[in-house]
Amino acid sequence: MSRYAYVNGRYLPFRDAMVHVEDRGYQFADAVYEVCEVRAGRLIDERRHLDRLERSLNAIRLRLPMSRAALGVVLREVVARNRIGFGMVYLQISRGVARRDLAFPVPERAPCIVVTARALNRVRLEALAAAGIAVVSVPDDRWGRVDIKTVGLLPNVLARQTAIEKGAREAWLVDESGAVTEGASTNAWIVTGDGRLVTRHADRAILGGITRSVLFDAVKALGLTIEERRFALAEAYAAREAFITSATQNVMPVVRIDGRVIGDGKPGPVATTLRQEFHRFAETG
């Protein structure tokens, strides 16, 4: 099947989808992005993702280059042209193309907008969720504003690669105090021995996940108790359950951290229920 991408106003066959060598996203990671789940060809939580996109743009002092409605049309068009049933859509906006100079270009350049979409292997993801995944801990050596969803992801790339090389699927990033911040591209959660859900409070040290915020609604409706606070890696080792969340993985149970078995080594009831219930609380476009 041919694939298409949207690049600066045009829908192009994938092989022709290029950005300039002096795009500031390429040279400086001077760009922000979003990833949205696609289910039955529909965008999940588009409103929340576009809200976060606006916050990220604002933080790097860029404006939304087109209306939200127009951007929504582009996202849906890329999903449709690629005939995505189950998968993801990716949107990236950079500060545009200019001679390499750290300062913002004067005059302001047109931002560079790219949208791609691809199918995800649902059967494989469900099999992973049924078995649970392994994570390994690595030091969180990222910059101080990871709440902005920028494409500056080198520490995340290295963390994920370490995880893969150790036979795990995700890395959990641990700050200098020994607390887990989040995963390389996911938020991190545990369920304590007495059944309370814990995830790190959303400040500048984690990305405020959309899946994470939707789960807050689900958790309340299901009558579970949630605590937003730091949790140490040692507390995670002793947890009854652990899981990660993201737009592309939903709720994914974690059954091993650094080789230690979590709970009874199987996906726990809280993670499993939240995975099943998630889309009742998400917004389907």
Residues catalogued as catalytic: 33, 149, 182, 207
Task: Give which of 68, 34, 70, 37 is closest to 53, Cα–Cα.
Answer: 34
Considering beta carbons, is residue 9 or 144 the nearer one to ligand PDD?
Answer: 144
Q: Does 212 bind ligand PDD (CB under 6 A)?
A: yes
Strand partners, 189: 199, 243
Considering beta carbons, is residue 97 or 236 the nearer one to ligand PDD?
Answer: 236
Calpha distance 195→193 (Å, rounded): 6
The residue whose two tokens read 């922000």 is: 32
> Judged by CB under 6 A, which stretch of 71-79, 111-119, 217-225, 246-254 contacts ligand PDD?
246-254
Radius of gyration (C-alpha) of the chain in whole angstroms: 19
Q: How far is the CB of 29 from ligand PDD (least distance, A)?
A: 13
Crossing angle of helices 210-221 and 46-59, in 10° steps, is 130
Considering beta carbons, is residue 91 or 247 the nearer one to ligand PDD?
Answer: 247
Residue nearest to ligand PDD (CB): 209
Residues in contact with ligand PDD, counted by CB under 6 A, come to a total of 14
Q: Does 160 bind ligand PDD (CB under 6 A)?
A: no
Interactions with ligand PDD, residue window 14-43 (CB under 6 A): 35
Considering beta carbons, is residue 64 or 120 the nearer one to ligand PDD?
Answer: 120
Calpha distance 47→71 (Å, rounded): 11
Q: How far is the CB of 101 from ligand PDD (least distance, A)?
A: 28
The residue whose two tokens read 């939580």 is: 45
Calpha distance 120→136 (Å, rounded): 24
Task: Give which of 143, 193, 141, 144 is closest to 162, Cα–Cα.
Answer: 141
Crossing angle of helices 210-221 and 269-281, in 10° steps, is 100
What secondary structure letter does DSSP report for 66? S
Q: Does 247 bind ligand PDD (CB under 6 A)?
A: yes
Q: Does 94 bind ligand PDD (CB under 6 A)?
A: no
Interactions with ligand PDD, residue window 172-211 (CB under 6 A): 182, 185-187, 207, 209-211
| Residue ranges in contact with ligand PDD by CB under 6 A | 35, 182, 185-187, 207, 209-212, 245-248
